[in-house]
Structure 1
Amino acid sequence: MSKRSKLVRGSAQVGTGIAVTAVGALLIMLAGQTNLPTVQHEVPAQTVSTATTTNTSFVCQGSFGVLGLNASSPNDVTPVGEAETKVSGGETAKNDLAMQLAGATPPSSRTVPGSEDFRAAQKQRIDTETVKGLAASSCGEATNEQWIVGGSTARGISSVITLSNPGAVAATVTIGVFNEEGPVEGVGTTGVLVPPATTKTVPLSGFGAGYDSTAIRVQASGSPVFATLGVHQITDITPIGADTVNAQLTPSTELVFSGVRTYENHTHGEEGEDGHDAALARLLSPEVATKAKVFSLTAGKERALIGEVELEAGVVTDLGLSKLPKEATGVIVESEEPIVGGVMTLLHNNNDHDFAWMTPSSVFSAGETVKTLTLPGGTLTLTNASDEKADFTVGDATVTLEPYTAKEVAKAGETSVQGEAPFALGVTLFDEHTLSTYPVLASASLIEEFTVYTR
């Protein structure tokens, strides 16, 4: 039996997808040539941020969607249960996205000034005959491009893409799916229409069944969308985990997963009897072949290399992290070319199972102040994403971190973080029976800066 199949049998080999952000390009044309003497001088330049002049729509997806509850229409997705949503910052508007759900939480959007560091997150404990687990996610901005890494279309695993359009015009969404064999071609990947102020769900199985490892590219025109992936798994007839996967905005040569947590307790048998890894890294290099290295982080020790892998262009690769230490609090993946990725961690406490699909946290610059929101029951993990020892201010306290270490620094509530070195933040919810995580993400509008050259 392969390591992948053992991983699925041991707890939850789930996945999801991908996320990426749109990038603008500036073309500068220089022309003219004479025989006169030339004069060289520095061209004045000014960096302009679009965040100060635009509003941003933040979306919370609402209740977890389950595929196949309606026997007469098995491709329908039904929201189940109620999600707990928390917000911070100055909320200026709120509207439900054209859904009224009996006994469930509808998706919602909030419009805030682009310059504001607004935070929102949601969690939901699901316990039904077919779905069981804790699903937490960061509410996020609608963007024109994003990647989701995770999920699967293998037997027993359900993966559902949720697309929310908070805008005033329709969005036409192109969904590109990659798996362990490469890009999926010609399986209805284009033209998903999401009307204004609505949410649409798309089963990942519609792009092909029987794939163990998937990653998703979401591209929207007309209006930006916010995309997440809901994943849950059943072994035989027993539900063994659920989670919601956030999107990654753009490929990067460094992926930081802040707040890693695994848990195994086998009092009814020998530890490790299922023969599965406690975590795996799923990686995709969209354009070119490259090599990636995976490092584990702890609260105080130097980071350790726990895996290396060659990535083929367009092929999703899973790497079992058998060397991930139990005390690990973070993972960093470094590659020669930009990649997207996710880390899945497992909880196995006798008959209780769950899993978490982690999206890379944003890496914030030294000196930048970042507001955070940690949901009840969660802990905030701070990662020093540099090779130098540095001090960080967390609320009113000072925290010193060694190079490439990750430490839990705050419990539930709102706080602000600033540091002398680049850093990343993630929230982990864990209670020995359920497990979930969500990343702290930089505002897409704050990323969208461009340089103006004056004559």
Structure 2
Amino acid sequence: MADRRALAQGGARAIGALVGVGIAVAVIAGATLLPLPDFAIGAPSQTVHPVPADQQRVCPGPVLALAADAGQASRPSAIGNASSVYGTDGPDVQTRNLTPDASAAAPDQAPLALTAATPRGATKPPLFGGAQIQNVVSPDLSGLAAASCAEASADSWLVAGATTLGQTSLVLLSNPTSVDATVNLDIFTETGRVSAPGATGIVVPAGAQKVVPLAGLAPSATAPVVHVSTSGGEVVATMQQSFEQGIEPRGAELAGPTGAPSRVQTISGVTIASLAAITAAQSSESVSVEFPTVRLFVPGTQDAQVTIGAVGESGTAAGDSYAQTVKAGNVAEIPLDHLKDGNFTVTVRSSVPVVAAVRTSVIGSKTRDFAWFVSSPPLTGDQLVAIPVGPKTLVHFANAEDKDVKVKLQPESGSPIALTVPAEGGANAGVTAGRYTVTGAEGLVVSVSFAGDGQASSYAVSPAGPLAAPIEVYPH
């Protein structure tokens, strides 16, 4: 009996142990498989949409001439007036004249500052654009000079100008802000960096323009590049260049900033004309007439392996490609030979960041001129393009994508202009003076060119800078 009782007690204990193990397994499985309550507490936040700030643009004003008297060389004078066109798709534009550094006979010979306010309650600023043009005719200086009315910046690059015999270049610094700007000019040429004490600490008063003759800082420079940087306020930098051969004026131009240093620079709408006349002049004149040329500069310390592609826009003959090594710290110029008259998209691809622009010349029946074409960033959305009155005017589009893009230009009145920009190519549309709203061109590089008998000029169309973006606020 004792043995039976012992066996029964042992069996009961075994069964109890098994039940306990089963309960433990069930508890563990439940803790593992069943979802637990979520006790995480999210940080409280609120998205704030700032009111977009007012937009500002500056038109550089009329072409300037240095005084013939060396004692007055620092006081340039305005020649004639520039004609400007500007506007928005919202409220009217407010205008004011900046205080000119040059002697001016009338208030409208001063640089023009434009302001477009964002309507109350609007979530984005209005489309805004402006441009100016001037046909300069004087005994010492002539040419067609067009420029975009641009946004002020604390950092920009001017890839244009020359200070060799007959060449005059002026750096125009316009300050539309309410504080003085201190400007430093870092100048580079074909021989390297220029050491010029007067190039640093240049004070541009608030609401004024300062003119700096480049020859006083970098004399006898064939291919200068100027890096403009500021502290305090911001400025709009423009390079005015004019050329006089003997006693004959050979052109004038206003060149705005080119794109910031990048491994890819796209220059749309490069217009080449009268190459046969230029070739003939090269062989018959003692002073060289420049062929189309790409000016390049490598801001870093590593040499650049550069490939340049020139692709003809719709209706233009096929382009060409060029390859070269560009030494860091020195400005280089690469001729675009083997091209024909027409319109081209020039793309610079480099192993390291570079800045770039293209210069072309034109010979007419009585006059000569030259033009600078600068690179610019692609558009980020709809754009308002202002077109002043000038000779044959084209809006150019460059498409780096692998598919065609359909673009529409809507004038203030009249029928829209529809345009297909081919993949990895370019196209253009003829326009008249006025304001055009461009839609469908996101991702395209855009510029405007003017061409007449012995006349040429161009300016880039750049997207507006960021004014306001949503902010996520996390209170304490």
RMSD of Structure 2 on Structure 1 (CA)? 3.1
SS in 2 for 1:211: coil
Cα pair 1:94 1:110 within 8 Å, conserved: yes
Cα pair 2:99 2:208 within 8 Å, conserved: yes
Q: In the alignment, which residue of structure 1 is the partner of 2:37?
A: none
Note the C-alpha offset of 1:129: 1.3
Note the C-alpha offset of 1:171: 0.8
Cα pair distance change 1:305/1:45, threshold 3 Å = farther
Q: In the alignment, which residue of structure 2 is the partner of 1:108?
A: 112
SS in 1 for 2:370: strand
Note the C-alpha offset of 1:323: 2.2
Output aligned runs, 1:45-444, within 5 Å.
52-89=51-88, 90-99=91-100, 101-102=104-105, 105-113=109-117, 115-248=125-258, 250-264=260-274, 270=280, 273=283, 278-287=291-300, 288-300=302-314, 304-365=319-380, 368-377=381-390, 378-395=393-410, 396-412=416-432, 413-419=434-440, 422-444=443-465
Q: In the alignment, which residue of structure 2 is the partner of 1:18?
A: none
Unmatched 5+ residue regions in structure 2? 1-42, 119-124, 411-415
Distance 2:193 2:184 in 1: 14
Cα pair distance change 1:232/1:271, threshold 3 Å = closer
Distance 1:44 1:348 in 2: 68
Distance 1:330 1:165 in 2: 32
Note the C-alpha offset of 1:267: 7.3
Cα pair distance change 1:238/1:450, threshold 3 Å = farther
Note the C-alpha offset of 1:71: 4.6
Note the C-alpha offset of 1:322: 0.8
- After superposition, the C-alpha distances for 1:194-238 in whole angstroms (9 at most, x for unaligned) are 111111100001212111110001111111111101000111111
Cα pair distance change 1:219/1:91, threshold 3 Å = farther
Distance 1:421 1:224 in 2: 27
Cα pair 1:145 1:249 within 8 Å, conserved: no
Cα pair 2:278 2:291 within 8 Å, conserved: no
Distance 1:44 1:394 in 2: 46
Distance 1:313 1:451 in 2: 40
Distance 1:214 1:450 in 2: 41
Cα pair distance change 1:394/1:269, threshold 3 Å = closer
Q: Structure 2 counterpart of 1:85, which letter?
A: S
Cα pair 1:85 1:123 within 8 Å, conserved: yes
Cα pair 2:259 2:355 within 8 Å, conserved: no
- After superposition, the C-alpha distances for 1:80-106 in whole angstroms (9 at most, x for unaligned) are 111101112144422111248215621
Identity %: 25
Distance 1:82 1:393 in 2: 32
Unmatched 5+ residue regions in structure 1? 1-42
SS in 2 for 1:140: coil
Distance 1:305 1:450 in 2: 45
Distance 1:250 1:269 in 2: 33
Task: Between 90-99 and 118-127, report the one with greater CA deviation.
Answer: 90-99
Q: Which has the higher strand share?
A: 1
Cα pair distance change 1:251/1:363, threshold 3 Å = same
Distance 1:450 1:340 in 2: 32
Distance 2:296 2:373 in 1: 12
Cα pair 1:385 1:421 within 8 Å, conserved: no
Distance 1:154 1:267 in 2: 23
Cα pair distance change 1:327/1:47, threshold 3 Å = farther
Q: In the alignment, which residue of structure 1 is the partner of 2:121?
A: none
Cα pair distance change 1:380/1:176, threshold 3 Å = same
SS in 1 for 2:466: helix
Distance 1:317 1:145 in 2: 22
Q: Which has the higher helix share?
A: 2
Note the C-alpha offset of 1:382: 1.9
Paired residues in the alignment total 413
TM-score scaled by length of structure 2 = 0.79
Structure ID, larger Rg: 2
Q: Structure 2 counterpart of 1:414, which letter?
A: R
Task: Between 388-397 and 291-300, report the one with greater CA deviation.
Answer: 388-397
Note the C-alpha offset of 1:325: 2.7
TM-score scaled by length of structure 1 = 0.82
Report 1 or 2 for greater relative contact order, CA contacts < 8 Å, sequence distance ≥ 6: 1
Note the C-alpha offset of 1:253: 2.2
Cα pair 1:277 1:321 within 8 Å, conserved: no
Cα pair distance change 1:427/1:420, threshold 3 Å = closer
